Amino acid sequence: MAICYVLMSITVGEVHPFSRETMYNSFPNLAVTFYLSDSTGNCLPVKKFFAYNTDAITHNYHNIEERMGYQKAETKQGLHEVGREMWLQIVPHALTSTVTHGVAIHRVSYFMLNNTLQQNDEILYQVQ
């Protein structure tokens, strides 16, 4: 079986799952997703209130976290800073100014614990 994998790797080249890049050849224990909520906690459909690509939210989060440093970004204060910076990138794309008051950016983390999928929903930043 190993010989088959090696031959396929050589033949196919640098594509999933034969890539040497970690993001393509492994499965992390943590996955994150993001959503916005209004002041009452109801989910806000991003496309309805912002002219903003929802993929950019996750992309910006990872860029900010990498620039800040993972250890600092994962502290309570660091997460607040990350969320604030994310918000500053989103808010210029608001389709109406009334939607911005009380909006919160949530990070939902999914991870395995004792062979069970767990989730943790936390507010990174909330507009006052």
Question: 3-state SS string over 51-101?
Answer: CCCHHHHHHHHHHHHHHHCHHHHCCHHHHHHHHHHHHHHHHHHECCHHHCC
Convert the pLDDT of each residue in 79-88 to its tens digit. 999 999 999 9
Give the angle 100-101-106 at the CA atoms, nearest 5°.
75
Round to whole Å and give the CA distance between 9 and 6: 5
Convert the pLDDT of each residue in 13-27 to its tens digit. 666 555 666 655 566
Band (pLDDT 50/70/90 cuts) for residue 71 is confident
pTM of the model: 0.75
Beta strands 43-44; 30-37: pairing state: antiparallel
